Structure formats: C-alpha cells, structure tokens
Structure 1
Amino acid sequence: MSLLSALLCVIAAGGIYAALPRPACPVGAIRPVSRPSVNVLDLVGFVFGVVFFPPAFIGMAEASGGMALLALACLLPASVSLVFFTVSVRQETSWVRFFGNGFEFTQFGMRARVLYEELKKVQVRQWQASGWVAWFQSTIGSSGRRSAVLLNGAESTLTLVFKRKDGAKFTISSELIPDLQRILIGMDRAGVDLPEGISEVQRRKIRQRRERMYGPPPSEPPRAEQTNVARIAALIEHARRSIGG
C-alpha cells in the first residue's frame, strides 16, 4: 500500500461519513445528552481506526513471525473505533416523544409506541453510577424495544420507569422532560396510578389542572335523582300489577 493510496482511502472514508444520512429528530422530542458530543465520538473513532487498522492489515499480509503477531495485536485497539461509532449512532438515533395518550421511544431506528393505558405501573427511581459505568449506561446501556434507557449522562439522576403490562420497561431521566406535569396529567386521565414519589399536594395540583384542561371526570348521578328513578319504577310496576289483577 503506497502513501497515495492510503491518503485516498482516508479521503474516501471522510466522504462516506459526510454523505451518510442524518436522522431527523421530530419537533418536541427528547434526545439523550451526549458526553462527549457526537462529533467528538466520531473523531476519536476515526483516530483509532486510522492509526491501528492499517498496520494490522499490512502487517498480517507482509510480515511474519513476531511482527505478524504484533500486527495482529493492533486489531484490539483498532476495534475500539467500532465502539465509539456505535455509541455515536445510538446517540443520533435515540429520542422519546410524548403524546397526550402515551409516548414513542426510538432507538437505533427501532420504534416502540406505548399507550398510558398499557402501563402496569410507573415508578420514580434514583439512578446512580460513577465514572465509566454512568457513561456506559447513558449511551449503550439499553437492549432494544423491551428495555430502553434515555438518561442525561450524569452520575446521579432521578428517573421515571414506565413498566408495561407485557414486561417491557422504559427508563427516562426526569430532568430531560420539559413539561413533566403534562405527562402526569395524561397518565392520570388514562387511569394510571401516579408514581409513589409524588406528594399529595402535587397530586391535587395535577388533578386540578386536569379538570381545568379536560373538565371533571364523569360521575354517578346524584343520590336524589337515583331515588326518584327508583320511585317512578316502583309506581309503574305497582300500576302494572293493579291492571293485571
């Protein structure tokens, strides 16, 4: 491999990267906090790939003995670039969008639509981790449509854990949600029990705002009206028996 062909390969890689389609995040959707940024993750991945992949491939093809083993060992740090690229893709393709009756979780192009009425329960959970563990959990610590995580990247965050009746679980940092009360109102309107971590004062405020937005929930007829209906029914039945007699 000559220096010219190597430069052409690097230029081609840069062109492919620039031409890749970028997913369009819907308006109002919540995205994860990327630390470092997606551009930095891609740059680190390129550096690892450019530095270690060429000596690994060339060495395994041309060298022999100990040099060939050394070239093979270069594949280990070279593969780190794939980790950074995977994290970058995950951050670019992940978001959650809330609706009046539920939310939609998107990750790696896979979408899961969850209605509030499908939820078994919602919990408030303090998520704590440190160092690389926190970074891993907030970037690639998810496993598809049945266990999705969207965190703010901090070592300590207060999360909402939505558990669906079929066992699927979705965890979202509450700090990322701009209008948490609106989501709680939608849950309350759908008949889902509000999380235990919410105080009684907050519960009353949520129900009061829900009634202002959507009106009071349908209630039973007044007691007097029920009594009148029962009395009229009894009179009709008495009259029917009298005529029959």
Structure 2
Amino acid sequence: AEHLVARLHALESQLREAYTCEFLFVDDGSTDDTADRLRRLSASLPSARIISHTHNRGVAASIMTGVQASSSELVCSLDSDCSYDPMHLVDMLPLLVDGVDMVTASPYHPDGAVLNVPAWRLSISKCASAIYRRALRQSLYTYTSCFRLYRKQSITPIRLQNEGFVGIAELVWQLDQRGGTIVESPAKLDVRQYGQSKMRVAQVTWGHLGLLSRVFADRLVRRRPLGDSL
C-alpha cells in the first residue's frame, strides 16, 4: 500500500495542471487491517475515499463500485499491487478522444511487455484473449487487463454476471455489444510484488469458458434471420 500511494502522489503531481484527481480505494471485504492502513496512508491524497464491501465480491465488482461512486466522467481502474505503473495513465488519457468509451492497458500488444509473470497466468490470459479476439466485434490484443480508463456514462448501465476476474473480460464484451469503442495503450505488466494474488486457476478457466459460451451463443442468435428458431 505504501508503494501504491507514493506512485499515486507522483501521478497526481503530473496531472494536476490539466485534471482534478479523486482517489477511490475499494476494500473488497478484507478481514485484516487493509482499510485502516489505506485510511492512514491515503490521508495526504486529494479527495481520497475508502469504499468497503461487506464481503468479498471480486475484482470486477470492485471496479464497478469505484466507477459508480466516482464524481468524475473519466474513471481509471488500477490494480493495487502496481503490476502496472500508475504513471502509464498519462499515456492513456490522450487516447480517450471523442467517440472512445474505454482505453485499456495492453501488455499483449506488440509494443507492450510482460515481465516475470507466471506461465500459468500468462497462458490463461493469452488464450482467453485470442479466443475473445475472434468472437467480439472489436479485435484487441488484451481483454483481461484491470488497468483501464473509462467514460463513466458508458459503463454504469452495464450489469455484470461475473464479479470476479472473468468479469474484466465480460465488461469488454458487454461494452462491445452496446456498440462502444475500445482502444489499446501498449503497456508493461510486471509480476505482482505487493500482496498475494487471489486468482484461482481452475475457477478462472471455467469462468472464461462459461463467458465464451455466452458470447458465441449471442453471436449465433444475432446472425439468424428474423423468425428463425433455434
């Protein structure tokens, strides 16, 4: 948490001439002293708020909570473990031009980079991204990054069925279904150095398979002429 807050201070200093920053920390039902530590460490950040879930809901639910609670139309979601450098937001902001609804950090982009990430995690993410690329309207290199910049009005109407890691990809799919425009910003993903990952391999793999079945079923229905039955 100390490293994260230090990086956010640096980010706020970089952006303050053009943007007014608000920092929202979503405590996803932690049972340790996470919320208290965040309150102490974030006290020096401008407009810092802590939002707590009564129980653990998942990373996608936490992102949606933060988006809905934000007072800004531009909202960035970011992993608290600094797997991505928060300063990369400086490169993402110019990409959110009129007509763009989401900018996603993209480590799997040819100009991105992946460092020290466990092979199992990399395999899941790359395989999922390759299949989503074939299934969705917009072809992206990365569908599973939590580091994103959103237009709030484009995201708040979305209701996710998956509130955990798979919900990160579901959010892209639902925005894609609604005709939203998503662009990528090549980024560096580094191994988690702070905290402990809660990703469960089998659970996430089955979750992606379940979401992909919904995606392909939706494509099948949309392609059938009006009046055809399944």
Higher helix share: 1
Higher RCO (CA-CA < 8 Å; seq separation 6+): 2
Question: Which of 1 and 2 has greater Rg?
Answer: 1
